[in-house]
Amino acid sequence: MKFAVIVFPGSNCDVDMYKAIEDCLPEAQVDYVWHAEKDLSEYDAVLLPGGFSYGDYLRPGAIARFSTVMEEVKKAADAGKPVLGVCNGFQVLLEAGLLPGAMRRNQSLKFVCEHTELSVENNETIFTSQYERGERIVIPIAHGDGNYYCDQETLEELKANGQVVFRYTQNPNGSVYDIAGITNKAGNVLGMMPHPERAVHEWLGTEDGKRLFQSIFTYWRENHGAASYASGTDA
Amino acid sequence: MYKALIYVTLKESVLDPQGNAVKGSLHSLGFGEAKDVRIGKYMELLIDLDDQQQAETRVKEMCEKLLANTVIEDYRFELIAQ
């Protein structure tokens, strides 16, 4: 399985993301992919890391969403490949319209950097199969614009479709319905403000993020890996 | 040539945390009459077009596509002939 970590000018969690894949999934391959890349077809999953792409000018993610590579990210999403956006990556996915809603400044107007407790609202996604439903996990956040917003109608839809995947048990930023992470309707695009890639070793304070990456790999192996191994082609 | 003056603010229905903080500050300074403070963005740009109708259409497109996020923001603009 091959992961792409997209690097925008101003990404700063790309190395963490890359190392998380290396550490959690020794059987997988991972590459950095510069935002000007025109082809992602060789990758099985796409990771949009945190940071401050284009300095957060105008709005977080507003300029990055028009990067050349984003056309390819859309293609990957349409093809049903797992696409994960963390923090600024989540903001980019919202701006690109791959996920519904928008991000506002934190209600406190402060940058929040701390461990947060999340509840796993839906463990039947390709990103959360290795968690228990309702499980409490600890993942760090670090953001100034994590106050998720969507209108009431969209929220009802998110809830009805099981698209609300992670909720804060103590809301740190004012987000609607304590939302920390949502998927698209198809369930293959996940955006979340907390950083699972910073939660992959006990010595980091928590390793609760590890199973998110393992879930993606499990999904891939169940759906593609076995068939590929069997036919002796591209594993 | 036109100069476009573009204003982007959070929608009425969206809570504006910065506006609220500024309102609180205004009240504590004795400006109790200040209500409903909204913080927004102001942008200026020159449009290299001579037809006003066309300039309006293009600026609207710019706002919809990039300058405002219409999920949470409203925009309005004025065009001034240069």
ipTM of the complex: 0.87
A104 → closest Cβ in B21, B66, B72: B72
B-interface mutation test, from A54, A56, A57, A58, most B Cβ less than 10 A away: A58
- Once rounded to an integer, what is the mean pLDDT over residues B50-68? 97
Predicted local confidence at residue A231, as pLDDT? 46
Hey, is A141 helix, strand or coil? strand
Q: Which residues of chain A have pLDDT under 50?
A: 230-235
Active site residue A156: no
Q: What are phi and psi of A155, to 5 degrees?
A: -60, -45
pLDDT digits (tens, 9 = 90+) for B8-46: 999 998 988 889 999 999 999 999 999 999 999 999 999
pLDDT of residue A79: 96
The pLDDT of residue A225 is 64
CB contact under 8 A, B17 and A101: no
Q: What angle do CA A22, A163, A101 make, to 5 degrees?
A: 95
In this structure, are residues B79 and B2 in contact, taking their beta carbons and an 8 Å threshold?
Answer: yes
Element containing residue B62 per DSSP (H, E): helix B52-62
Size of interface A-B (CB pairs under 8 A): 36
Q: Which amino acid is at A159?
A: K
Cα–Cα separations (whole angstroms), residue A219 to A101, A112, B36, B80: 27, 32, 49, 57
pLDDT at A227: 53
Amino acid A123: pLDDT: 97
Q: Which of A13, A87, A95, A121 is catalytic?
A: A87
